[in-house]
């Protein structure tokens, strides 16, 4: 199949025609705002999951970076749908990115043009296994007084990469990062949940990305009578949990069966994790119309 077209500054271009200048500010200094959005096949056609919320976060991240955006929320939602439609794909991953182009390489980006692209990738699984073994990283999550945590910005992912490299070097699938106070924060690209005595717990907002999947799971859990607590979690809480899992657009719901040397539960995917993954799957694929509010059909 031909590579999907890329939406770039207002028009669709061929995959191999996407070119940017080597002095692009964002390449050198990591200042780009981006999102990951999945689209799924549903009974009523192809739908982007929580498109409005993702575009809202994208524009917020760009605003935090001081970027001047020529497109409105509505226009970007339309472009996202157009890009998905043009790809001919039934499910996949959409990556919108707003970045500064050609520059004089000064650290103040004021003279650089702001570019917007939307790229489509086939993306089945982010973490290759059905369940993962994670290592508590020696790298802490970026301090919330160093960067605004509510933004999703390219440069932050250098912190994620160091954690992943170290985890893989030590034979684990993924890392789990603590915050500057020693509480559990999140994965390199995922939020973190545990189950203890049938209660679902997740780190409160403040030192983590406010994940859209996290928000969806909290709502779905509450709708199904599951108690949800957002609070500081110690590494021991994570290690002594009955179940643990990651959430994220890429990761969806990824069960965690080992944290450091500790096996979680009986080392198999837990019942509540399975239940929530099933309910989430029904929401994204339009099988549960209660959550149709989260679907944007292309
Ligand atoms: N934390 C980080 C650091 C991430 O990169 C992501 C992926 N966007 C998440 C959490 C999960 O966020 P979401 O559910 O909105 O994809």
**For 159-207, what is each residue's pLDDT tens digit?**
999 999 999 999 999 999 999 999 999 999 999 999 999 999 999 999 9
Strands of the chain (E only): list them: 6-8, 11-13, 32-34, 37-42, 45-49, 92-100, 114-121, 132-136, 174-178, 184-186, 191-196, 199-202, 228-230, 243-248, 252-259, 262-263, 295-297
Q: What one-character DSSP code corresponds to residue 10?
A: T
- Residues of the chain within CATH 3.30.470.10 domain(s) are 6-121
In this prediction, residue 124 carries a pLDDT of 73
Q: Which of 97, 157, 164, 191 for mutating ligand 1's site (highest number of atoms within 8 Å of CB)? A: 191
d(CA 259, CA 161) in angstroms, rounded, equals 19
Atom of ligand 1 nearest to the CA of 212: 15
Q: Are 80 and 51 in contact (CB under 8 A)?
A: yes
- As a whole-number percent, the residues of the chain with pLDDT over 90 amount to 96
Residues at CB less than 6 angstroms from ligand 1: 36, 152, 186, 189-191, 209, 211-214, 247-249
Residue 130 has pLDDT above 90, yes or no: no
- Residues of the chain within CATH 3.20.10.10 domain(s) are 132-284
- Find all residues with CB under 8 Å of 241, minimum gap 6, and list them: 194, 195, 196, 264, 265
What's the average model confidence in pLDDT over 43-47?
A: 97
Å from CA of 139 to ligand 1 middle:
18
What's the average model confidence in pLDDT over 76-99?
A: 98
Atom of ligand 1 nearest to the CA of 35: 8
In this prediction, residue 39 carries a pLDDT of 98
- Find all residues with CB under 8 Å of 137, minimum gap 6, and list them: 163, 166, 167, 175, 176, 177, 178
| pLDDT tens-digit map of 229-244 | 999 999 999 999 999 9
Atom of ligand 1 nearest to the CA of 213: 14
For ligand 1, atom 9, the nearest C-alpha belongs to 190
What confidence category does residue 218 fall into, taking pLDDT thresholds of 50, 70 and 90? very high
- Find all residues with CB under 8 Å of 13, minimum gap 6, and list them: 5, 6, 7
Q: What is the CATH number of domain 6-121?
A: 3.30.470.10
Going 289 to 291 to 292 to 298, the CA torsion angle's sign is negative
- Judged by DSSP in three states, 77 sits in helix
- Find all residues with CB under 8 Å of 113, minimum gap 6, and list them: 100, 101, 102
Å from CA of 74 to ligand 1 middle:
23
User: What CATH superfamily classification does 132-284 receive?
Assistant: D-amino Acid Aminotransferase, subunit A, domain 2 (3.20.10.10)
Q: Are 46 and 157 in contact (CB under 8 A)?
A: no
Q: What residues are annotated to the active site?
A: 152
- The rounded Cα 23 to chain-centroid distance in angstroms is 28
Residue 9 has pLDDT above 90, yes or no: yes
What confidence category does residue 128 fall into, taking pLDDT thresholds of 50, 70 and 90? low
d(CA 126, CA 92) in angstroms, rounded, equals 12
């Amino acid at each position: 199949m031909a590579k999907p077209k890329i939406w770039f500054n207002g028009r669709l271009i061929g995959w191999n025609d996407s070119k940017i200048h080597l002095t692009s500010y964002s390449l050198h200094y990591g200042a780009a705002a981006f999102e990951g959005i999945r689209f799924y096949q549903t009974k009523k056609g192809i739908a982007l999951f929580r498109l409005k919320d993702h575009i809202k976060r994208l524009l917020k991240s760009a605003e935090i970076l001081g970027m001047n955006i020529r497109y409105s929320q509505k226009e970007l939602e339309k472009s996202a749908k157009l890009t998905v439609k043009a790809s001919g794909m039934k499910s996949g991953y959409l990556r919108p990115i707003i970045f500064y182009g050609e520059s004089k390489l000064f650290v103040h980006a004021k003279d650089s043009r702001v570019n917007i692209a939307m790229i489509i990738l086939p993306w089945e699984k982010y973490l290759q296994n059905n369940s993962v073994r994670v290592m508590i990283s020696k790298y802490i999550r970026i301090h919330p007084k160093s960067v605004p945590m509510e933004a999703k910005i390219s440069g932050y992912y250098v912190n994620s990469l160091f954690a992943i490299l170290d985890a893989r070097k030590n034979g684990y699938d993924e890392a789990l990062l603590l915050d500057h106070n020693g509480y559990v924060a999140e994965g390199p690209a995922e939020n973190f949940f545990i189950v203890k005595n049938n209660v679902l717990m997740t780190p409160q907002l403040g030192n983590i990305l406010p994940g859209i999947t996290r928000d969806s799971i909290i709502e779905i859990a509450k709708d199904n009578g599951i108690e949800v607590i957002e609070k500081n979690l110690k590494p021991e809480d994570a290690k002594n949990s009955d179940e643990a899992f990651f959430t994220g657009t890429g990761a969806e719901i990824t069960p965690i069966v080992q944290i450091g040397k500790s096996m979680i539960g009986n080392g198999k995917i837990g019942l509540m994790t399975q239940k929530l993954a099933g309910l989430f799957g029904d929401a994204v694929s339009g099988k549960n119309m209660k959550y149709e509010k989260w679907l944007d059909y292309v």
